Structure 1
């Protein structure tokens, strides 16, 4: 007798399995955070109570993205940044750029400790000397003298020279640096504040450059009149002239540790704590005034110049800057690492010299849209080192193409023939060096703007056993030939010698 389950077709079973997979995905996404950050939802914004309304658009944008925003005055005692050795917030935004006195728990030491505990920071500088201007050189930021704003007289406009529109689309970004501003940021970004130069710190990179025709100088003299600031600055020499696109108005700092859960057995405690810090030359970039301010541009037409007013890109740019600082983009992690011999799949505790080794790793990237970790195969310059004190083998880890999963490959084969998809898997095959000792598989991927990936795994390499060496060596054939020829000559000699003695015995008997 046939049961009802026997009438279920393979296609119906596939749809049923797809339904279960969808429910599991929904359950997993419900456990994830509400915000687009990979590290947490809580944000502490430190701002003067009288100026809180000036940043309402930016704060509302954070809440709209799912962040739980808490406001605190610079001199208030609560809520604390760190309590019982643990941070109370996942992200801290300090918009009090002109404040000189802060509460006891807000200090350069506490901000550095927050970074070491994995809390992300957005720090805004001002024209006045305060705690942040003293902390900036510790991050390799070179600041001009106090009360020295960034100014530019181009393009011609009715605004103050210290209120500068910066064209984000003309920013030159090298290929090895993550672009923080996507194509969605349209319009010029208004900026007013101080610019800074970046020292040769590998953890620091520019996010937004100053315009080419801008320079940092005090525009007013003692009488309040505009002076020839550029000429005065050039007379001072090297340190007095801060000009051009070599200056930055927004810079990012990525801590050295990081990479999610994939650090291996050799990694120490605290390796998973990662944090980012963004330095902004002025808090006005996040203000409502600049978010609503129009950009007046002159466009050349056939009948002459036409004046056009376009909205600024400050609203979107401010959220993108905070998004990178809050680890929404450029976040990578190592999920799994495996290694084995060629034509084998089992776990290997040690290798023999000259073994063929297959090394495979899986890397994921955080998707802020879905709030999930997804396989990422976009790394084109990932490398593996097989090292003992010094690297003995350095080879490229190339992405592997394949199906996204067993069920989806089965389902796609039923409906249509889909091409192979990238799965975030990287693999390489190499030969173990002809040297025994304790070696390490090392992945050390450091690119500006991305999470630093670091993974180490130790494995011994031993010489062959006494019975593991080859019985015949091609290089020893001359010795083999010499030994064989000597043996054959000895046998011939013995045969001739014995045969000669036998003939002499027969001859003597006949006589």
Structure 2
């Protein structure tokens, strides 16, 4: 009876549990959006509509809703989590700092948006991701040279930044022409965390301080060390976006014109929409997501994989690599994919050739060392999910009946032996018969 009740409870969840994100199925996506105020659903609707137009199913909840949960019966209900609740001191339901970190550790994606007066909870989440916000709760990024002229009247906290990361896989191939409007709190990257990257940086003239008070001490964050928007790709390929401005995602900033101080060019529309749309594609694995299939190895000229190789055999190795384009798997083309033939250390390291249709291949001779080897592909490239492939195979020496009858390399020794024998008989004959 109890099992029947459990089954009936799970029936409504089956559509979600069966279509959750996986490397083979990155198109089925559900995201939980936690808000400080439901009014954000309309004031930031353009950003949410861009996600929904790409097939995302968004579930909007207040951050303190006592019914919110990320998983049920050991299964995650969502593939992504969007935190638009910078002032929330405590989440409702079963969601807390540990639950969010477990969510990321399980390979799911996260967007964290802070703002001025960000709560300790949001700061702790960012710190766990390798990002440290300014400790001054009232601090904002101020820039007296790179502010938006058309939008401010002496307010230099509205930053117009165009210092983007140079990576097409993260921001798309189309250049972002207009500066991005930013108004909020800055952060720095933890130097001990090598996985976090600045996507949008402040200018060298920027600093972080309370704009309503005079500077009594030097700012703790200054110049290009201030990151406005950062990303992180964990070792399990989960992706995280951290921003210090909630207004950055708003409809007003999406549609606002912008003119950067010191520039005569006035853009009718800021770069916020393009920047955040392209960045969200990367965060939710619509770009830069790789998979490897059909990993094969065999003796040259044969089709079947052997159980083991013999030293000095000629072998062939191949793998197919594809990239998710948002709608389908497309061949991935690169010239830096390598394979290692590995035992304690690489005995062979070869670049894989490609036919530009996703097929990578190479051929090499098995080293004259026997033992248990591995074919290893460890592929890590900025902005792309990492690939870690390995196949184990033993390598044996020649059997006693597999050696050549006469080894060419031993001909000098053969010659020395027979010449010694011939010399001995000649010397014997000369010694016996010569008086």
* Cα distance, 1:309 vs structure 2: 4.9
* Cα distance, 1:310 vs structure 2: 2.0
The match for 2:54 is 65
Alignment equivalent of 1:328, drawn from 286, 300, 310:
286
1:135 is paired with a residue whose SS is helix
Alignment equivalent of 1:80, drawn from 69, 80, 92:
69
* Cα distance, 1:119 vs structure 2: 2.0
The match for 2:44 is 55
- In 1: Cα distance, 2:261 partner to 2:195 partner: 39
For residues 53-112 of structure 1, give each alpha carbon's deviation from its aligned partner in whole angstroms, at most 9, with x where no partner exists.
211111122222222221100011334211112111111111111222321422111111
Q: Would the alpha carbon gap of residues 277 and 155 (structure 1) be closer, same or farther in structure 2, given more than 3 Å must change?
A: closer
Bigger Rg over Cα: 1
* Cα distance, 1:213 vs structure 2: 2.0
Greater helix content = 1
For residues 113-171 of structure 1, give each alpha carbon's deviation from its aligned partner in whole angstroms, at most 9, with x where no partner exists.
1112232111112233321201222222132213221111114633522111112xx53
Q: Would the alpha carbon gap of residues 137 and 207 (structure 1) be closer, same or farther in structure 2, given more than 3 Å must change?
A: same
The match for 1:479 is 413
For residues 179-212 of structure 1, give each alpha carbon's deviation from its aligned partner in whole angstroms, at most 9, with x where no partner exists.
4244164422111112222234232222222223
* Cα distance, 1:39 vs structure 2: 4.9
Correspondences of 1:22-171 after superposition (within 5 Å): 38-47=26-35, 48-128=37-117, 129-145=119-135, 146-155=137-146, 157=149, 158-159=152-153, 160-167=155-162, 170-171=163-164
The match for 2:14 is none
1:49 is paired with a residue whose SS is coil
For residues 428-459 of structure 1, give each alpha carbon's deviation from its aligned partner in whole angstroms, at most 9, with x where no partner exists.
22222222111111111122311111111100
Alignment equivalent of 2:277, drawn from 319, 330, 341:
319
C-alpha contact 1:298 1:308 (8 A) present in aligned 2: no
* Cα distance, 1:312 vs structure 2: 0.9
For residues 11-55 of structure 1, give each alpha carbon's deviation from its aligned partner in whole angstroms, at most 9, with x where no partner exists.
xxxxxxxxxxxxxxxxxxxx999xxx9252212211122332211
- In 1: Cα distance, 2:183 partner to 2:94 partner: 29
2:42 is paired with a residue whose SS is helix
- In 2: Cα distance, 1:249 partner to 1:470 partner: 69
* Cα distance, 1:470 vs structure 2: 3.1
What 5-or-longer segments of structure 1 have no aligned partner? 1-30, 222-226, 235-239, 258-273, 301-305, 402-421, 502-511
What 5-or-longer segments of structure 2 have no aligned partner? 1-18
For residues 317-336 of structure 1, give each alpha carbon's deviation from its aligned partner in whole angstroms, at most 9, with x where no partner exists.
22222211111000111012
The match for 1:26 is none
C-alpha contact 1:39 1:90 (8 A) present in aligned 2: no
The match for 1:412 is none
Q: Would the alpha carbon gap of residues 185 and 393 (structure 1) be closer, same or farther in structure 2, given more than 3 Å must change?
A: same
C-alpha contact 2:373 2:394 (8 A) present in aligned 1: yes
- In 2: Cα distance, 1:465 partner to 1:233 partner: 78
Q: Would the alpha carbon gap of residues 479 and 112 (structure 1) be closer, same or farther in structure 2, given more than 3 Å must change?
A: same
Q: TM-score normalised to the size of structure 1?
A: 0.73
Q: TM-score normalised to the size of structure 2?
A: 0.85
- Do residues 276 (structure 1) and 239 (structure 2) align? yes
User: Larger relative contact order (C-alpha < 8 A, sep ≥ 6)?
Assistant: 1
- In 1: Cα distance, 2:61 partner to 2:220 partner: 38
Q: Would the alpha carbon gap of residues 338 and 70 (structure 1) be closer, same or farther in structure 2, given more than 3 Å must change?
A: same
Correspondences of 1:170-249 after superposition (within 5 Å): 170-173=163-166, 178-183=169-174, 185-200=176-191, 201-221=193-213, 227=214, 229=215, 232-234=216-218, 240-249=219-228
1:311 is paired with a residue whose SS is coil
Q: Would the alpha carbon gap of residues 91 and 39 (structure 1) be closer, same or farther in structure 2, given more than 3 Å must change?
A: farther
Alignment equivalent of 2:344, drawn from 355, 367, 389:
389
Q: Would the alpha carbon gap of residues 191 and 447 (structure 1) be closer, same or farther in structure 2, given more than 3 Å must change?
A: same
Q: Would the alpha carbon gap of residues 298 and 75 (structure 1) be closer, same or farther in structure 2, given more than 3 Å must change?
A: closer
For residues 263-304 of structure 1, give each alpha carbon's deviation from its aligned partner in whole angstroms, at most 9, with x where no partner exists.
xxxxxxxxxxx421111112221111211221135787xxxx
- In 2: Cα distance, 1:324 partner to 1:343 partner: 41
- Do residues 256 (structure 1) and 235 (structure 2) align? yes
Cα RMSD (Å) of the superposition? 2.7
- In 2: Cα distance, 1:248 partner to 1:343 partner: 54
1:469 is paired with a residue whose SS is coil
For residues 368-394 of structure 1, give each alpha carbon's deviation from its aligned partner in whole angstroms, at most 9, with x where no partner exists.
2xx1112212x2211111111222222
* Cα distance, 1:308 vs structure 2: 3.5
Q: Would the alpha carbon gap of residues 149 and 256 (structure 1) be closer, same or farther in structure 2, given more than 3 Å must change?
A: same
- In 2: Cα distance, 1:142 partner to 1:474 partner: 68
